[in-house]
Every structure is written in C-alpha cells, then in structure tokens.
Amino acid sequence: MVPVDIIRSSKYCSHHSGRWGECMHDVSDLRKGIKVEIDGAPYEITDFNFVKPGKGQAVYTCKMKNLVNGSTLTRTYRSGDRVEQPQLENKKLQYSYPEGENYVFMDKDYEQVVISKEVLGQNRFFLIEDLTVDVLYHNDRPIEVSLPTFVERAVEHTEPGARGNTATNVLKPAVLEGGFHIQVPLFVNEGDIIVVDTRTGEYVERVAKK
C-alpha cells in the first residue's frame, strides 16, 4: 500500500508495479507528514511554515525527521524550488524467528527477509511467531516496522499485589515474555495475559488471569 502522503503528491510521479520512480515535490506541495529525500536519506516533514512577504518570493521552512536514524534538520525553500521524493515501498511480512541480533521474516513469495534490532527498536519485544507486520522500505532496504496497535503478552515476572486490590492508578514494574519491562497495575500477577499498546509500550488491560 502506497503511503497517503505520496499519493497526494503524485502529479510528478508514475506508478509501476507497486513502486514509485524518481520524482520531485514542488515546494508548494509540501505539508506536515510529507516524505522527502535529502542527501540520499528519507525524511518526514514534522513542521511546516509558509511566509509570503509583501515583496519577493514566498519562503517555506520545513523541520524534518530522518526516518532511518531519527535525527532532525531544518531546511528553507523558496517558490519554484523542488525537493526529491524518496523511493519508498510498503510490504507485509510475516515474522518467523530471531537469529542472533537480527530477526527473520518471510515475504509473500516465501523469501526470507532479515531485519536488525536497530530497525525494529522496542517492537522486537512484541514479535510473535507468524505475526504480520508492515515494513517500510527505502531503496529496497527496510527502515521501519509497524506492528498491530495491540498485542497480548504473558507476564513473566512481577511482585505479587495485595489481595483484592483492583486499583489501576497505582503501578508496579513487570517483565513480559520476550524481556520487555513495563509498568502494570497492582492486581496483575505472574502468568496473567495483558494487552500492550505497541506504539507506546504501555499497559492497556488484563485479558486473562493465571
């Protein structure tokens, strides 16, 4: 599936076999959320400001986040400037197994795809065998992995809470299967199954008691 922000700026592009060829954004099309390429790296615009002085060219100031390493930069453009659009592609992969510092996935053609823990970030703690994920590629290299918003994980270790305590606003540390550290309500015990929000890494609810 092609990202929505790329579809909106498709007047400079042609679509072929699920991939976007080299194309350019006119600066007048730039908006927050649009993806651009700077010095060979993909960036997403996180803030956008347009100023039209009484005389002279309009000025477009963009704050951007590097989609590979998270660094930020600010660039200023003027009317008529054009900015390169990155070659991005979304694929659905199915998780298979860990392999050292890497994680092995399978594509629709049953070809193995290896993704590093650096690309996965904390998402690696929520991987479950056969889980389907969305992977964003830049120039045929995986740069971002998106999981389902919610996953269920078992609590491997936590201190027992007070019997009958159902408070949800008092939290305690816990370790989930896979090694993720999280804060959970006092009533959650080892062996319980809880729902975790993969976007924030936070507890959502308990769905099964040991």
pLDDT confidence band for 210 (50 / 70 / 90): confident
Give per-residue pLDDT as tens, 14-41: 333 334 445 889 998 999 999 999 999 9
Instruction: Give residue limits of the domains in the chain.
Output: 4-85, 88-146, 150-208
Average pLDDT over residues 98-104: 95
The model's pTM: 0.73
Give per-residue pLDDT as tens, 125-158: 999 999 999 999 999 999 999 999 999 999 999 9
Q: Matching CATH topology for 88-146 and 150-208?
A: yes
Look over the chain and give the mean of its residue pLDDT values, rounded to a whole number.
Answer: 86
Average pLDDT over residues 174-187: 95
- The CATH code of domain 88-146 reads 2.40.50.140
| Predicted pLDDT of residue 23 | 83
Supply the DSSP string of 62-128, one letter for each residue.
EEEEETTT--EEEEEEETT-EEEEP-EEEEEEEEEEEETTEEEEE-TTS-EEEEEHHHHGGGGGG--
Q: Which CATH number fits domain 150-208: 2.40.50.140, 3.40.50.1470, 3.40.50.1000, 3.30.365.10?
A: 2.40.50.140
| Predicted pLDDT of residue 166 | 64
Give per-residue pLDDT as tens, 69-81: 889 999 999 989 9
Q: Which CATH number fits domain 4-85: 2.30.30.30, 3.40.50.10490, 2.60.120.560, 3.40.190.10?
A: 2.30.30.30
CB 32 within 8 A of CB 45: yes
